[in-house]
Chains A and B, each alone.
Chain A
Amino acid sequence: MLKKLLLATAITTIGTGAALGECAFENDVQIKTLTAGFEAWKAVTDAMAECGNVQAELDQEFRTKQPAAFAANPALYQIGGVANGTIVPLLNDGTIRPLNDLVEQYGQDLGPNQLITIDGDIMAIAMMVNAQHLMYREDILTELGIDVPTTYDEMLAAAATIQEAGVIEYPLGATMATGWNLGEDFVNLYLGYGGEFTDENKMPTVNNEAGVKTLETMKALTEYMDPEFLVSDSTYLQKQFQQGDVAMANFWASRTGAMDDANESSVVGKVKMAAAPAAVEGGPPATTIWWDGMVIARNISDEQAEAAMKLIAEGLDEEMVKANNNAAVWLIDGFEVTPLAEGTIASMQGSAPAYPASTEMGLMHTALGNNVADFLIGSETAEQTLADVEAEYLTTAREAGLVK
């Protein structure tokens, strides 16, 4: 037993030794970061921490903390991790700084895809893209002679076949946990049906045919899901996949690596990726493309901003990508496209839209996340649910001063 323990320790030491790269410079300015907590962020913040004096805070609830923490003077964090949705509050409050000069000075290695530009100002440095796309159990589909679904109707038919064959009790999975996840599922499908969320006056326009169809498709999907779908977040769904409890789901690209993690997964090599199914025949994949990246706070000294930019460039270098290739679909040079990234790339090539991040969309997303569950548990009709969504959106939009 002691021998085993020693061996294990030795392996860990060697492992960390190999992963520990050299930082190009010694950082002597105290820098704090606040980012989300998934695998890719672990990799990037670890790479930045090698330079010294970096305190990384990884928190999936960063969204609720970030706006206030960046509005403080001096800002409580110098670097923030954002996505296209979460950058909106920071842009609105004007709490992040344009990075044009800093990028010119330190960002030689950044690719054009990484520069998030608004009216010529570089506001964020993107590092990866993320999207929900189809993951399926290749072995099950092949065995039952099912083609990889390209539309939601095909997906439902495939689910019915799998269930009838008695292979898996609940063949479908989804990230339908109430709140943000559920709202995101609605957004994906609704855009797939060609819906618009607001008109030019920012008045809500979801109570329409596309909205009803979206809700009905979601409900049809839940018929093939574990009945506890309203608590099913990404981690829950990942476990279901790993334990072989689901055969198909529209799931985040950032979770693909976990499917082939031999320590956790009983389905290594059996889960394959494809473009997200389309909502209508011949339409674009019903999903939205997200990017994740970093911003630098406005209310800090220029010296800190400079150090922050150097750290970002160091954290997003080729070395980090090579060591963590499967942690994300990186936008950074040196990323090697593996089968795990195929779903995202296929979705992007199929011209899936970018997530339409904006102030009004933020309000709409919240309203959707709060109300869609009422329809799925059957306590309201589709029209009623959508009317509730619009009412909640209007209340919050009026309070924010967005509509009069």
Chain B
Amino acid sequence: MSTARALEPPFPIKLANGAFIVFWLVLAAFSLFWVLVMSFKLPVDALSSNPLTVIFGPSTQNDVGGLGLIDIALGVVFFIAGYKLVESQTGRLARMLSLFGQIWLGWLLAAAVVLLAILVLASVVLPAVAGAFDWLLGGMPGLGWLVEPFIGATVQHYVAVWYDNAFYRNFINSMIVTGGVVTISLTIGTLAGYALARTGSNLAFWLLITALIFRALPHSVLVTGYLPPFIQSREILMPLWESPFLGWFFRLFSSEPPTLYGQPLAVIAVLVSINQPFTIWMLRSFFQNIPSELDEAARVDGCSHFEAFRRVIMPVMWPGVITTGLFSFLLAYNDYLVCALLLDAQSQTMVPAITQYFNRETTSSDTLEAIAAAVSITAPLFLLVMVFQRQIVSGLTAGAVKG
């Protein structure tokens, strides 16, 4: 008790502590906040060099309309309440939704439910409530200033991006690539990580070291190694399809060899491979923390390694897998180099697609659309942190943190 009091910092330190946190928060969020604000303004306001014009958007308010005090207050309340709810309750929701005892299914469903709820809230409920307030308060004398719009805002850039330019296609492509990478990466990564954690052989050691060097490789080196064979893959693979012995086997899949360039599946394979070194290192340290007595006991009971893995290890490995999965998700979702070089326009993911906005930007509304697209790309990541924040911290405490 006495030590706890002694540990209680004196006031100046508390003050400095608080000041530093505020400073860091501003530093961390300012540029993102600014981009968010810009994306809701007309070009004239958004590209103005006067910060107040950017924030209040007078021309936007004039031409399109804007938000009143009450709208903003409602938005803030909704956001804070939503954040609290998601941050604290998603874990419980995930456990509730764990059908067939599969916790990963629970998390997947929980994330989907949260996404859906937020979409409905933001696009239907919030405007309706705000509209009701506007109507109610606008009618009351003396309270009109509450609803009087004073900050210009427009969603036209988002409409242009998602509807006119069909950004949802890129979103779907991103989801295919990201989903594929996370699933495959974790499936083969857990197997390898488990085996590496349970062997002390020199072979395993050198395997890990090689993986480490692979982890450090610049991606551009690898990617350009793939480019020519991917484009020429039909010609390169032709002998396999035409060979008298194995040809029938390959022809089962398709009548002629595929051109790998532009195939999401090829990109998934590349990203999974690039991501494997990190995945197996991370999962290995998680598995090392699971006492090996557990599966040894199962082995004594007559289980094979696979059965021991399935019955004993799988139920306890999820915190580690979720954390590792998040890192895989970030890698695949944020990837620029691989997707830009190996996918064509029809299967392009969101991040390279946005640089094409910049490449063709010739008008200021193109710039603003690029900014709106950038915010759109960030939104799912935002949600991801909200849902998984606790898992990130606790997962790191449990596993990788031990080095």
A–B direct touch, CB within 8 Å, in complex? Answer: yes
Contact across chains for B356 and A59 when beta carbons are under 8 A apart: yes
Could you tell me which B residues sit within 8 Å of A by CB distance?
A: 43, 63-65, 227-228, 231-232, 234-235, 259, 261-262, 344-346, 356, 359-365
Which of A68-76, A122-130, A286-294 touches B? A68-76
Q: Which of A37, A76, A264 contacts B262 (CB 8 A)?
A: A76
Q: In the bound complex, do residue A38 and residue B360 qualify as a contact, i.e. CB atoms below 8 Å apart?
A: yes
- Chain B residues lying within 8 Å of A69, measured Cβ to Cβ, are 231, 261
1/0 per residue A255-268: CB within 8 Å of B? 10010010110000
Given A72-B259, A72-B261: A58 and B360 within 8 A (CB)?
A: yes
In the complex, chain A residues 215-239 whose Cβ is within 8 Å of any chain B Cβ: 234-235, 238-239
Indicate if the CB atoms of A37 and B360 lie closer than 8 Å.
yes
| B interface, over-half SS | helix
Give, as a whole number of angstroms, the nearest-CB distance from B184 to chain A: 26
**Does B345 contact A258, Cβ atoms closer than 8 Å?**
no
Residues of A1-48 contacting chain B, CB below 8 A: 1, 4, 37-39
A141 to chain B, nearest CB (A): 26
Q: Which residues of A contact B359 (CB under 8 A)?
A: 37, 59-61
CB distance from A328 to the nearest CB of B (A): 12
CB-defined contacts of B227 to chain A, threshold 8 Å: 68
User: In the bound complex, what is the Cα–Cα distance between A68 and B342 (angstroms)?
Assistant: 12
C-alpha spacing A375/B360, complex, angstroms: 30
Which of A59, A73, A239, A242 is close to B235, meaning CB atoms less than 8 Å apart?
A73
Q: Output the least CB separation between B350 and chain A (Å).
A: 16
Does any Cβ of B come within 8 Å of A370's Cβ?
A: no
Q: Answer whether residue A161 sits at the interface, using C-beta atoms and an 8 A cutoff.
A: no
With beta carbons under 8 angstroms apart, the residue of A1, A71, A76, A263 that contacts B64 is: A1
Chain A residues lying within 8 Å of B231, measured Cβ to Cβ, are 68-69, 71-72, 76
CB distance from A177 to the nearest CB of B (A): 13
Taken together as a complex, chains A and B put the C-alpha atoms of A74 and B234 apart, in Å, by 8
Residue on B with the closest CB to A61?
B359
Interface status of A55 (Cβ within 8 A of chain B) = yes
Contact partner of A55 (CB less than 8 A), chosen from B63, B228, B346, is B346
CB atoms of B360 and A261 under 8 A apart: no
Can you spell out 18 A-B residue pairs with CB atoms less than 8 angstroms apart? Answer: A4-B64, A37-B356, A39-B362, A58-B356, A59-B359, A61-B359, A72-B231, A72-B259, A74-B259, A76-B259, A76-B262, A235-B362, A239-B364, A242-B364, A258-B363, A263-B365, A264-B43, A264-B363
Q: How would residues 49 to 64 of chain A score, 1 for a CB under 8 Å from any chain B CB and 0 otherwise?
A: 0000001011111000
Contact call A258/B344, Cβ cutoff below 8 A: no
For B42, the closest partner residue in chain A by CB is A263
Q: Is the CB of A38 within 8 A of B362?
A: yes
Q: How far is the CA of A235 from the CA of B346 in the complex (A)?
A: 26
- Seed contacts A57-B345, A69-B261; 16 additional CB < 8 Å A-B pairs: A1-B64, A4-B63, A4-B64, A37-B356, A37-B360, A38-B360, A38-B362, A58-B356, A58-B360, A59-B356, A59-B359, A72-B232, A242-B364, A258-B363, A264-B43, A264-B365
> In whole Å, how far is B341's beta carbon from the nearest beta carbon of chain A?
9
- A239 CB to nearest chain B CB (Å): 7
Residues of A within 8 A of B364 (CB): 239, 242, 264
Which chain A residues numbered 57 to 91 have a C-beta less than 8 Å away from chain B?
Answer: 57-61, 68-69, 71-74, 76
Q: Quick one: which of A69, A72, A234 has the most chain B CB within 10 A?
A: A72
Residues of A within 8 A of B362 (CB): 38-39, 234-235, 238, 255, 258
Q: Complex formed: what's the CA distance from A60 to B358 in Å? A: 9
For A235, the chain B residues whose CB sits under 8 A away are 361-362
